[in-house]
Structure 1
């Protein structure tokens, strides 16, 4: 366990009083459980003071239950931060925990008066809030100290989970956390590089031991894949991403691979940082005549690359095979789809959609396909393409996959479905004019529907 000291400017040099507090770091699906004082607009990690005849673990379990109404399973203490102010020493112990149930909340009078509520918040948003601790210097010293402590704790805990080789490369460097994507990965943004921590084992995969895995579920059949076979293929495909990125060096502006490591939970990809702004940056959304030609140029540059030695295949049959695995193992999020895809007038469920996709495969137009060509994955600088990111699905695939996803991204970033703001000056159809092609709406619909299963 690591121990850090925070010594306040007002510390007397020795302490006569000491108190211990225990706090929990509970992260689920990219969100972290927080205690929020609505009357004071103040955030804190759930926890509180150690009571007499109580162990540290008992304390953190009790405090989270009382403040948040959440039952947790806690690890041993992973970090201790000792604070010194005036004649006091405060021992703050941090525990990684997992939420396993709910219970009644029991707030103190002070917590009731402060309007304390439990909130699940995006990890990146909370990390950013705590990083503002300097703004309270000389204004609200109590909040400044608490935010600095919580910022330090989250930073240390998050970095401690990284492989040692990568931890050494990022040691001492400030970062923020990106919550923009939907992949479930943790993205650490440093000044010089980007670290992507991607879950290594698919939820509900055979290796995860889920009740929905082919090995344990009722859908297992004699001709099903052997337990772990699909998982092995998935891991191999993750490794292919790094191979593709290295293959693209010098061909396209993509991040340079600086380090790549794996453990039992994650794969860690440390990359150089692409300069510029994403295509969905407010400036480019307000200036579509600057943005859409760059999208067209990026697509044309992708498609111009010789794919004869491309390390990965992402043709329709390959993508359909992965889609089938996702459907079979209940990995499809039906809440994150186009409104008309499922329900009245649409498909009954993911199984029916998959069957339709198999029966209606379009003709194949092979190119180097990005695989997820959407506005957040395209960077622009000085009016030109400065880089492409999120290359996890890049390979020898179909050009209409890129066209379809680019069109959808333009449409929904413009109509407010993604991002919440409407940009009436954007006409997604201009993309086809820039590409010099006629839209094939059947293929566009097909690939948008195929992407619904991912």
Structure 2
């Protein structure tokens, strides 16, 4: 996908849109995407493969929908060439919440995280055209398992040694009877919320955004905070978000669910 380690290969259409820039390679994104950034832009390059977690076309659609609703990058261009997708967007000022230089007190981090998710989850459902409910995600999970796309060695410690099939079977068997639907981010980790100073600048990596149970976000956010900041602050995050809205069994369910994505 690249001519050299220090720059991406751009389709002609993108060369006309993006100014000449010094690109910096960022660690790879979800679904096998390569991520590059310049001072003003972020570029994602992703192969078109069967049963993806999300596509760059989906991310483009969601970024366009978020404009004017929740701070997020603006779409600059989208192209498909030689079975690859290219998505160029503006770069948000700031750094991820998970970055060592975030340098905020953990209590401030979880407060901002809880506030950002409450704001997203408060968006009117009737306005959101994207669905990520279990009716959508469980069939995709089955396809990914059947296609051999799940690396069981990457499961969380409490599921070490289990097979992807057993995880899917448990998801199907223990599916919650009712959904608490909101507009969710879909990958609500500290990596995907950008801080600028002591405030949230915006959300990134929104290719899985859509209507789903709020616990799809809360489970991943809780796990991310526990991993980065510790058990105490993971619990504080849930307190700040609103314990009355939290179902511990659903938190466990959606952590299991994420193993197949």
Matches within 5 A, 1:27-426: 153-155=4-6, 158-159=7-8, 161-179=9-27, 181-201=29-49, 205=50, 238-284=56-102, 287-343=105-161, 348-362=162-176, 363-414=178-229
Distance 2:115 2:54 in 1: 31
Deviations along 1:167-194, one digit per CA (max 9) or x if unpaired, are 2333531121111645421111110010
Shift of 1:290: 1.7
Q: Which has the higher strand share?
A: 1
1:299, distance to aligned residue in structure 2 (A): 0.5
Question: Distance between the aligned counterparts of 2:79 and 2:53, measured in 1?
Answer: 12
- Determine which structure has greater relative contact order: mean sequence separation of CA pairs < 8 Å that are 6+ residues apart, divided by chain length: 2
Aligned counterpart, 1:442: 249
SS of the residue corresponding to residue 175 of structure 2 reads coil
Change over 3 Å in CA distance of 1:236–1:289 after alignment to 2: closer
Structure 2 unaligned residues grouped into runs of 5+: none
SS in 2 for 1:253: coil
Kindly state the Cα deviation for residue 237 of structure 1 after the two structures are TM-superposed: 5.8
Distance 1:195 1:237, change over 3 A: closer
SS in 2 for 1:335: helix
Give 1:433 deviation, angstroms: 1.4
Q: Which structure dedicates a bigger proportion of its chain to helix?
A: 2
Please report how far the alpha carbon of residue 263 of structure 1 lies from its aligned counterpart in structure 2 after TM superposition: 1.8
Comparing 265-274 and 435-444, the one that deviates more: 435-444
Q: CA deviation at 1:282?
A: 1.9
Q: Identify if the C-alpha distance between structure 1 residues 319 and 296 changes in structure 2 by more than 3 Å, giving closer, same or farther.
A: same
CA 1:427–1:154: 2 relative to 1, 3 Å:
closer
Paired residues of 1:252 and 1:387 also in contact (CA < 8 A): yes
CA contact (8 A) 1:243 1:311 kept: no
CA distance in 2, matches of 1:342, 1:181: 24
**Distance change >3 Å, CA 384–CA 167, structure 1 → 2:** same
In structure 2, distance between residues paired with 1:429 and 1:245? 30
Q: Cα distance 1:286–1:242, how it changes in 2: closer, same or farther (>3 A)?
A: closer
Query: Aligned partners of 2:43, 2:56: CA distance in 1, in Å?
Result: 15
Q: Label 1:404 to 1:285 Cα distance change in 2 as closer, same or farther (>3 A).
A: farther
Moved more, 244-253 or 174-183: 174-183
Distance 1:173 1:388 in 2: 24
Give the number of equivalent residue pairs: 259
Residue in 2 that maps onto 1:44: none
1:429 corresponds to which residue?
235
Relative to the length of structure 1, the TM-score reads 0.54
Check whether the contact 1:240–1:312 (CA below 8 A) recurs between aligned residues. Answer: no
Q: CA deviation at 1:312?
A: 1.4
Q: Matched residues in 2 for 1:235 and 1:326: separation?
A: 9
Kindly name which structure, 1 or 2, has the bigger radius of gyration based on alpha carbons.
1
